[in-house]
Amino acid sequence: MKKVVTIQDISCFGKCSLTVALPVISAMGIETAVIPTAVLSTHTGGFTGFTFRDLTSDIPAIASHWKSLGLKFNAIYTGYLGSKEQIRIVSDFFDDFGTEDNFIVCDPAMADGGKLYTGFTGDFVDEMKKLCGKADYIIPNMTEAAFLLGIPYTENYDRAYAEDVLRKLAELGCPTPVLTGVHFDNEKQGAAAYDSRTGEFFYSFRDNIDKTVHGTGDIFSSVFTGAIALGKSLQEAIDISVNYTADCIEATLDCFDEQWYGSCFELCLGKLISYVNRE
């Protein structure tokens, strides 16, 4: 059985980060260990007055216990991180648990729609850039890519621009960047990936659904990590990730008024399992 460790916050209500990663990766038939980096009463995307308990100092203690147990993982996957200090500690975790035989996925979950999430600043972006340089795969959206590269954010771009962004992301030190939310027109939306070792680009699209649903970046990255851990190719991994993410958005359209804070991803887990077994 494959084993993934995911390091991100637990937003107790709101369906993102760990409350998505754990069920999604587990449904793919993968053992999923977690390091919660903070406990929030809700996520920060649309709720106010949320609590935030920082668990940064627990991370080295968990890591040293795990080292004493000799634990090994097929993949290390990081999502939303709460502070620069936390990023540095996660970077140490990469040094301790990253090997030749496993891979690291870093989702620089910090921005969307042209803006940084509540609480983040330029210093945080600089630290995240360094962490991305240590990962095998990074999974930014266009907003996060713009912050990482210090380029203007735009939603109007073509294939040549997306490929240029991917090449520049690889120059941060990550050989295989994956861009999410990619669209060259209003018809299709999906993901683009670049393997800098071969120079190949990969694309996957579904019909565009004109709705932003919170937590879908976490869904995409969780599925992607699981798919690569299961030995899927880069093309297969983005196909499965795009399809499941689009299914989740579609399933949320019917219940959006009540579920404005997150997707109805639970309703689509059966489909995810069928994609994993088919492709």
Question: Which residues bind to ligand PXL, rule: CB under 6 A?
Answer: 9, 11, 16-17, 40, 43-45, 80, 109, 117, 215, 217-218
Please identify, using beta-carbon distances, which residue of 14 and 236 lies nearer to ligand PXL.
Answer: 14
Please identify, using beta-carbon distances, which residue of 41 and 235 lies nearer to ligand PXL.
Answer: 41
CA distances from 188 to 129, 142, 234, 243 (A): 29, 15, 20, 12
Query: How far apart are CB 124 and ligand PXL at their closest, in Å?
Result: 13
Query: How far apart are CB 109 and ligand PXL at their closest, in Å?
Result: 4
Q: Using alpha carbons only, what angle is made at residue 263 by residues 153 and 73, rounded to the nearest 5 degrees?
A: 80
- Give the contacts of 65 (CB within 8 A, at least 6 positions apart): none
Please identify, using beta-carbon distances, which residue of 140 and 217 lies nearer to ligand PXL.
Answer: 217
CB 89 within 8 Å of CB 122: no
Please identify, using beta-carbon distances, which residue of 35 and 234 lies nearer to ligand PXL.
Answer: 35
Query: How far apart are CB 278 and ligand PXL at their closest, in Å?
Result: 28
CA distances from 33 to 36, 63, 94, 127 (A): 10, 12, 15, 25
Question: From CA 248, how far away is CA 3, in angstroms rounded?
Answer: 24
Please identify, using beta-carbon distances, which residue of 44 and 176 lies nearer to ligand PXL.
Answer: 44
Query: How far apart are CB 9 and ligand PXL at their closest, in Å?
Result: 5
Query: How far apart are CB 112 and ligand PXL at their closest, in Å?
Result: 8
Query: How far apart are CB 115 and ligand PXL at their closest, in Å?
Result: 11
Please identify, using beta-carbon distances, which residue of 27 and 111 lies nearer to ligand PXL.
Answer: 111
Please identify, using beta-carbon distances, which residue of 41 and 208 lies nearer to ligand PXL.
Answer: 41
Query: How far apart are CB 113 and ligand PXL at their closest, in Å?
Result: 11
| Interhelix angle 84-97/58-69, nearest 10 degrees | 10
Question: From CA 260, how far away is CA 213, in angstroms rounded?
Answer: 7
Task: Write out the H or E segment, with its range, that includes residue 119.
Answer: none
- Give the contacts of 234 (CB within 8 A, at least 6 positions apart): 176, 193, 195, 202, 228
